[in-house]
Chain A
Amino acid sequence: MNHTKPLTPHHFAPWQDGTSKPLISFSNVSKTYGDFSAIDNVDLKIYPKEFFALLGPSGCGKTTLMRMLAGFEEASTGTIEIDGHNMKGVPANKRPVNMMFQSYALFPHLSVADNLAFGLKRSKMPKSEIDGRVEEMLRLVQLTKFAKRKPHQLSGGQKQRVALARALAKSPKLLLLDEPLGALDKKLRQETQFELVDIQEKTETTFVIVTHDQEEAMTMATRIAVMDHGKLMQVGTPDEIYEAPNSTYIADFIGDISIISGHVQDIENERATIIWDESQTPIRGSFERNVTKGTQAHFAIRPEKIQISKTEPSQGYNKIFGQVEDIAYTGNMSTYFVRLPNQKLITSQMVNDRRISQRSITWEDHVWLSWHDEAGIILAK
Chain B
Amino acid sequence: MQMNWPRKLLIGIPFLWLLALFLVPFLIILKISLSDPVLAIPPYSPRLDLSNGFEGIITFFSELDFENYIFLSEDSLYWKAYISSIKISAIATFFTLMIGFPLAYAMSNASENWRTPLLMLIILPFWTSFLIRIYSWMGILSNTGLINQLLLWMGVISEPIIILNTNTAVYIGIVYTYLPFMVLPIYATLDRLDGSLLEAAQDLGCTRFSAFWLVTLRLAKPGIAAGCFLVFIPVIGEFVIPSLLGGSRTLMIGKVLWDEFFANRDWPIASAVAVFLLLILLIPIVLFQRNEEKQREHER
Contacts and interface: CB of A to CB of B under 8 A. Distances in A.
Interface of A: 70-72, 91-93, 97-99, 101-103, 105-109, 118-119, 122-123, 152, 166-167, 170
Q: Which of B194, B197, B200 is the most central at the interface, judged by chain A CB atoms within 10 Å of its CB?
A: B200
Contacts of B201: 107, 118
A180 B145 CA distance: 63
Nearest to B198: A105
Contact of A166 (B197, B202, B204, B206): B204
Dominant SS at the B interface?
A: helix
Interface in B192-209: 194, 196-197, 199-207
A170 B205 contact: yes
A118 B196 contact: no
Contact of B298 (A70, A91, A152): A152
Given A109-B218, A109-B219, A152-B298, A99 B206 contact: no
Given A107-B215, A108-B219, A152-B298, A72 B205 contact: no
A33 to B, nearest CB: 15
Q: Which of B194, B201, B204, B218 is the most central at the interface, judged by chain A CB atoms within 10 Å of its CB?
A: B204
B109 interface: no
A103 B197 CA distance: 9
A92 B205 CA distance: 7
B300 interface: yes
A91 B202 contact: yes
Nearest to A123: B205
A118 B204 contact: yes
Interface of B: 194, 196-197, 199-207, 210, 215, 218-219, 298, 300
Contacts of A93: 202-207
18 contacts: A70-B199, A71-B203, A72-B202, A93-B206, A98-B204, A99-B200, A101-B200, A102-B196, A105-B194, A105-B197, A107-B215, A108-B219, A109-B298, A118-B204, A119-B205, A122-B210, A152-B300, A166-B204
Contacts of B202: 71-72, 91-93
A98 B201 CA distance: 10
B205 A105 contact: no
Q: Which 10 A-B pairs have the closest CB atoms?
A: A122-B205, A119-B204, A105-B200, A105-B196, A92-B202, A93-B205, A99-B203, A101-B196, A93-B202, A105-B197
B292 to A, nearest CB: 16
A164 to B, nearest CB: 13
Contacts of B206: 93, 122
B204 A122 contact: yes
B199 A72 contact: yes
Contacts of A99: 199-200, 203
Contacts of B300: 152
A101 B202 CA distance: 12
Contacts of B194: 103, 105
A310 B268 CA distance: 109
A99 B197 CA distance: 12
A84 B215 CA distance: 32
